[in-house]
Chain A
Amino acid sequence: MSMQTFLLNGTSVTVDVNPDVRLLWVIRDMLGVTGPKYGCGINVCKACTSHINGKAFNPCSVRVGDIKPTDEVTTIEGLPATVGKDLHPMQEAWLEFDVAQCGYCQPGQIMAAVAKVKAARAAGHEIGDADFDEIRNVCRCGTYNRIREAITAGAKNM
C-alpha cells in the first residue's frame, strides 16, 4: 500500500492503495464518486470516460500510481464546474434532446462528447458525421441518433 494523491473534480484527494489498482476503482470504490460507470474494464465500452487535464480518458485502464499529484481528473460530477455553471452546455443539450434512456452510459457519453468537440476544433473543424462515427462509447439502449443531435447542439454553446 502507498499514498496516492491527485486532483479529483477540483479537490486534492489522497488514498492509501496499491499503485497498481486502476483509477476507476479508486474513484468509485474508495472515494464513492460513482458517475463513471463500469461496463467492461478493458477500455472498450467507454462507460467510465472522464477527463484528465481536460482530455478524455478511461480510468479503467490507468494505474492510480501513474497519476501525478498535479493531474486534474474530472468526472461527470465535476464537469459543470469547468465552465463555472450548474450545468455544462453539453448536459443542457442532453436534457433538451432527452437523450438518455436507461442512463448507464450517459455520463461517459457526455464526457466523450465534450472532448470530441474540442478535439474537432483543435483539428480545425466543427464536429460532424465523420467524428460521430469515431465515438466508441457503447449505448445498449441504442439512442445514438439523439446523442448526435445533442452533441451538435451542445457544441454551439461551447
Chain B
Amino acid sequence: MGYLMAGTTLVVAADLSLGGSPAAAAIPSLPQIPELYDLEDLQTDAARPTAQLITITMNTDGTASFQLPRAEVGQGITTSTSMIIAEELDLPLDKVHVTLAPARPELLFNQLTGGSNTSVSTFTPIRVAAAIAKGALLDAAAIELGSIVALLTSKAGVVSAPDGSSVTYGELATKAASPTTKKVNVTLKATSKFKVIGTSQGRVDAHDIVTGRKQFAMDLQVPDALPTMVCRPPTLNGSPKSINNEAVVKAMPGVTDIAMVDTGVAVRAQTFGQCIDAIRALDVVWNTGSVEGESDATIKAKLKAAEIPLVVPQVPILAQTVDADFTFMFRSSAALEPNCSIADVRKDKATVWAGLKSPIVAQGHIAEAVGLPVSAVTVNVITGGGSFGHKLFGDAAVESAKISKAMGKPVKLMWHRADEPRQGRVHPMCTSRIRATILAGQVLTFEQRHTSVSTDFTHGLGEMLTSQAAALPGGLGNLGFSESIFLLTQELPYNFGLVTQLLNEVDLSFNTGSMRNIYSPDVACANELVVDQLAKKLGQDPLAFRLAYLKDPRVKAVLQKVADVGGWGRKMPAGTAQGIAVHKEYKGATAVLVEIDCRPETVNRQIPNAVAGPRVTKAVIAVDAGLVINPRGLDAQMMGGVSDGIALALTSSVHLVDGHFLEASWDNYFYTRQWNIPPDFECIVMPSDSQQPGGAGEAGVAASVSATACAYARATGTMPTTFPINHDQLSFTPKPFIPPVPESPTDGLSQTY
C-alpha cells in the first residue's frame, strides 16, 4: 500500500517503514528519557500521517526523481536505488535521478546509513512507490489513448496501446497527477520478470567521477564560506587555554579570522594553505587531554582487568583444551576525504553541508551547539568520499557550526590529514579470549570473551531519542547498546556444543565508533584462527573440518565455492600458504581463500616510506547476499572488503604513546596500497532464490581478515596473536605534535614522472 500525493505533477509515496529494519525492531528496550528537548518536535512531526513517506516525482521531461534518505559514501546505493526505480517503473536507468535527502527528523529511525542495511530496509518501500507511479501513469494513459489499462504495455518510459498509439511518461506526468492525497493498493512486479535488478550496472555517478565533476563537500561553492582549519592540541582530546600570539597570526597573509573553540583554535583564511601556515605559527597554551600518559600497554592492561572470566567447563577429564588470547590494536576509520563540513550559522538559522550517515542526530547536536531550535537548522547531506563508519558521527558538522557561530561568518571546515588519526574516530582496541574443548573428535565447548574499549554508539538508531539514551551518564546506555549490537551481529556459525560469546566494554575516553563491520573482523579473526587450531588438534584439514561443523548450507556453499575456484590444498612452496575462512552476517554469507607469501625476499621488499610485509598473492571471495540488485557493485564492495581485511591483518593500526596517537600521514597509517594487494583477485556472486537483498557494504571484511591471518599462521608455523601483525615494529618516524600539522613540501617539481 502507498499513496498518490496531491500535486500538479505525479508524486507517489510509500511508507519507509514497510519491510523495515529487523535489527532495529529486535534491539531490547532502552531506558526511557522523559525530558528530551526535541521530543515535542518529534512527536508533532511523527504524528502527521504522511510524515514518514518517501516520494518519487515524475517530471514532465520524462525523468523520475527521488530523494534517498541515506548517505552515498561509495557503497553504490544511489546506483542500486536508481535500478530499483527503473525496474518497477519500466524507465531507462539514466532517466532516474536519485539525490540524497537532507536531515528529516520526522523519519525517526529511518535515516541512519549503517549496518549495511540500506538495500535491506529500502527495497520494498521504494518498489511500492515506483509501482504506484507506474499504475497512475497507466491509468492516465488509458484515458489519453482511449484504451484500457489491461491492454497497455509500458517500456522505456513509453506507454503503448494495441493500435500502435503511444504516449510518454513525460507527457503523462501532469495528467497522472492527483488533486488529493489518497491511499492506493499496488501489486509489485514478480521477481522473475526483473530486467534491471540482477544485471551488472556501472555507477550512476561514474562519468562525473572520472571527469572530476562529482562534488564532495569541500568542492561546493557556498558564498563567503572561506577555508577554515583547526590548530589541535598535542594530546588526545586536549583543549585550548589561551593564545599567545593571536595578533601576529591574524596579520598573516590571507588570514581573516581566529576563534577559540572547545576542540582547538580555528583559523579562517583565503586558502587552506594559508590556514596550514597559520596553524603552524600559532602559539597556544593547552589543557591536558583525556588519556594523558596512557599507552597501548596501559590500555591493554585495563582491558585484561575487565575481561569477563571464562567459565571452567564441565567436561570429561580427558578433554583437550585450546586456549587463545588475541589483541587487536586501535585503528583509524578515516576515509580519504578528511572530516569536513560547510556551515553558515546566522542569528536565527543555521545551514550545514556535510557527508553524514546519521543527519538527524547531527542536526540535533548542531542545534544544541549553536542554541537554535532543531527546526531552524538545515542539514544537507552531501555524497561522501568514503565512510567506513567515520561518517556516522557529525563531528566536523558540529565543529563547523560552532566555528561559524564564533566567527559570525560562513566557514568551509576541513581537518588536516594529521588530525585524523591523532584526534579522529578510531576502532577501539580490544582483546578476545577463547577457550575450546575437544574430546573424541568432537568440539564440546567454545567460549569467547571479547573485551573492548567502549565503542561509541551515541548516534543511536539515527534519531535523537536513542541517541540520547546511548549517551546516558556513566556509559550505561552505551554499554547496553554495544551489547545489543554485539549480540545481534555475532554468530558463531559452527556446531561447537556449548557456545558463549560475551562482550564487555570499558569507557576510557577515546573517540571511537563503528568501523566497517564493527566487531566482526576482530571476533571472526580470533574465531577462525582457533577453528584452524581445533582442526589441527583433530588432525583434520581446515576446509574439511569447517564443512563438517558448519551449520548453514549457504555458508557451506560459499566455502566450497572458494575452495573449488581457489584450488584449496594445492602444493605451495615453504614460506607461502593458503588460508580459508567464512563469515555469516547481513542476511548472507561470505567465504574467502587467500594465498600469502611470507618469504624474506617478499617481506623485505624495499619500498620507500612503506610497509611491504607479507604479500597476499591471491584472493578468492564468494558472497551470498540474497537477492542481488547490482552484481558489479557487490563485487566492488567485496574487493574493498578484501583490501580492508588485508590491512587489518597485516599493516594498519595507530600507536598510542604517552597520551597521543603517533600517526599523522598515509605513510604512517599503513592502509593497503598497490604493493600489498593480491594481483590475482576473484569474486563470485552466488546465485540465490531469495526475495530479499542482504547487506553488501561490510560483508567482505571479516572473512578476509580471518583468511589472511589463517594463511599467515600456516605459512609461518606461528599463530599471530596481535593484530595487525606488524604493530610492534614502528615503521616510521613520528611527526612533531607542536605544531600539530606538518608543513607542505616545496619540492614537488623534483618528483615528476
| Chain A interfacial positions (CB closer than 8 Å to B) | 1, 17-18, 20-26, 28-30, 32, 34-45, 47, 52, 55-63, 66, 75-77, 80, 87, 91, 94-95, 98, 100-107, 110, 115-116, 119, 129, 132-148
Q: How far is the CA of A104 from the CA of B72 in the complex (A)?
A: 12
Q: Does B90 contact A (CB under 8 A)?
A: no
- Determine which of A34, A45, A52, A56 lies in contact with B212 in the assembled complex, contact meaning CB atoms within 8 Å: A34
* Residue contact B665 to A103, C-beta cutoff 8 Å: no
**Hey, which chain B residues are within 8 Å of A66, CB to CB?**
746, 749
Closest B residue to A115 using CB positions: B753
| Chain B interfacial positions (CB closer than 8 Å to A) | 73-76, 202-203, 205-216, 218-219, 221, 227, 253-254, 270-274, 276-277, 334-338, 383-388, 414, 416-417, 607, 609, 632, 636, 639-644, 665-667, 671-675, 677-679, 681, 741-742, 744-749, 751-753
**Hey, which chain B residues are within 8 Å of A39, CB to CB?**
336-338, 417, 666
* Residue contact B209 to A138, C-beta cutoff 8 Å: no
**Hey, which chain B residues are within 8 Å of A55, CB to CB?**
752-753
* Residue contact B335 to A101, C-beta cutoff 8 Å: no
Closest B residue to A147 using CB positions: B674
Smallest beta-carbon distance A109→chain B, Å: 10
Q: How far is the CA of A52 from the CA of B731 in the complex (A)?
A: 32
- Determine which of A22, A26, A44 lies in contact with B667 in the assembled complex, contact meaning CB atoms within 8 Å: A44
Besides the known contacts A29-B272, A95-B206, 7 further A-B residue pairs in the complex with CB atoms under 8 A apart: A57-B748, A80-B211, A98-B636, A100-B210, A101-B203, A102-B387, A142-B641
Closest B residue to A137 using CB positions: B674
Q: How far is the CA of A132 from the CA of B277 in the complex (A)?
A: 35
Smallest beta-carbon distance A2→chain B, Å: 11
* Residue contact B276 to A41, C-beta cutoff 8 Å: yes
- If A21-B271, A100-B203, A140-B386 touch, whether A106 touches B210 (CB-CB below 8 Å) is yes
Q: How far is the CA of A69 from the CA of B338 in the complex (A)?
A: 32
**Hey, which chain A residues are within 8 Å of B416, CB to CB?**
41
* Residue contact B205 to A145, C-beta cutoff 8 Å: no
Q: How far is the CA of A94 from the CA of B211 in the complex (A)?
A: 10
**Hey, which chain A residues are within 8 Å of B675, CB to CB?**
133-134
* Residue contact B640 to A44, C-beta cutoff 8 Å: no
Smallest beta-carbon distance A81→chain B, Å: 12
* Residue contact B337 to A45, C-beta cutoff 8 Å: no
Smallest beta-carbon distance A32→chain B, Å: 6
Q: How far is the CA of A52 from the CA of B751 in the complex (A)?
A: 11
- Determine which of B214, B254, B632, B672 lies in contact with A103 in the assembled complex, contact meaning CB atoms within 8 Å: B214
- Determine which of B253, B334, B337 lies in contact with A37 in the assembled complex, contact meaning CB atoms within 8 Å: B337
What number of residue pairs across chains A and B have CB atoms under 8 A from each other? Answer: 236
* Residue contact A38 to B681, C-beta cutoff 8 Å: no
A–B complex contacts, Cβ < 8 Å, 19 sampled: A18-B274, A35-B212, A38-B218, A42-B744, A43-B748, A44-B417, A45-B666, A60-B748, A76-B210, A101-B76, A103-B208, A103-B385, A106-B210, A136-B673, A140-B336, A141-B636, A142-B641, A142-B672, A145-B678
* Residue contact A116 to B336, C-beta cutoff 8 Å: no
* Residue contact B215 to A142, C-beta cutoff 8 Å: no
**Hey, which chain A residues are within 8 Å of B742, CB to CB?**
41-42
**Hey, which chain B residues are within 8 Å of A21, CB to CB?**
254, 271, 273-274
Closest B residue to A97 using CB positions: B202
Smallest beta-carbon distance A125→chain B, Å: 15
Task: Across the A-B interface, give the 8 residue pairs with the lowest CB-CB distance, nearest first.
Answer: A142-B643, A35-B212, A102-B74, A104-B385, A61-B748, A103-B209, A76-B212, A25-B271
Smallest beta-carbon distance B722→chain A, Å: 23
* Residue contact A129 to B679, C-beta cutoff 8 Å: yes
Smallest beta-carbon distance B511→chain A, Å: 19
- Determine which of A18, A24, A60, A105 lies in contact with B254 in the assembled complex, contact meaning CB atoms within 8 Å: A18
Smallest beta-carbon distance A105→chain B, Å: 5
**Hey, which chain A residues are within 8 Å of B666, CB to CB?**
39-40, 44-45, 138
* Residue contact B674 to A24, C-beta cutoff 8 Å: no
Q: How far is the CA of A107 from the CA of B336 in the complex (A)?
A: 13
* Residue contact B672 to A144, C-beta cutoff 8 Å: yes
Smallest beta-carbon distance B81→chain A, Å: 16
* Residue contact A42 to B752, C-beta cutoff 8 Å: no
* Residue contact B671 to A91, C-beta cutoff 8 Å: no
**Hey, which chain A residues are within 8 Å of B749, CB to CB?**
52, 57, 62, 66
**Hey, which chain A residues are within 8 Å of B210, CB to CB?**
76, 87, 91, 94-95, 100, 106-107, 110
**Hey, which chain A residues are within 8 Å of B272, CB to CB?**
25, 28-29, 38, 41
Smallest beta-carbon distance B520→chain A, Å: 17
Q: How far is the CA of A47 from the CA of B219 in the complex (A)?
A: 14
* Residue contact A45 to B673, C-beta cutoff 8 Å: no
Q: How far is the CA of A20 from the CA of B227 in the complex (A)?
A: 17
Smallest beta-carbon distance A121→chain B, Å: 12
* Residue contact A77 to B211, C-beta cutoff 8 Å: yes
Smallest beta-carbon distance B615→chain A, Å: 10
Smallest beta-carbon distance A94→chain B, Å: 5
**Hey, which chain A residues are within 8 Å of B277, CB to CB?**
20
Smallest beta-carbon distance B500→chain A, Å: 34
Q: How far is the CA of A41 from the CA of B216 in the complex (A)?
A: 17
* Residue contact B212 to A102, C-beta cutoff 8 Å: no
Q: How far is the CA of A137 from the CA of B744 in the complex (A)?
A: 17
**Hey, which chain A residues are within 8 Å of B748, CB to CB?**
23, 43, 57-62
* Residue contact B746 to A61, C-beta cutoff 8 Å: yes
Closest A residue to B72 using CB positions: A102
* Residue contact B745 to A26, C-beta cutoff 8 Å: no
**Hey, which chain A residues are within 8 Å of B751, CB to CB?**
43, 57-58, 61
Smallest beta-carbon distance B423→chain A, Å: 16
Q: How far is the CA of A62 from the CA of B641 in the complex (A)?
A: 35
Closest B residue to A105 using CB positions: B336
Closest A residue to B644 using CB positions: A142
**Hey, which chain B residues are within 8 Å of A23, CB to CB?**
748
* Residue contact A146 to B636, C-beta cutoff 8 Å: yes
- Determine which of A26, A104, A144 lies in contact with B336 in the assembled complex, contact meaning CB atoms within 8 Å: A104
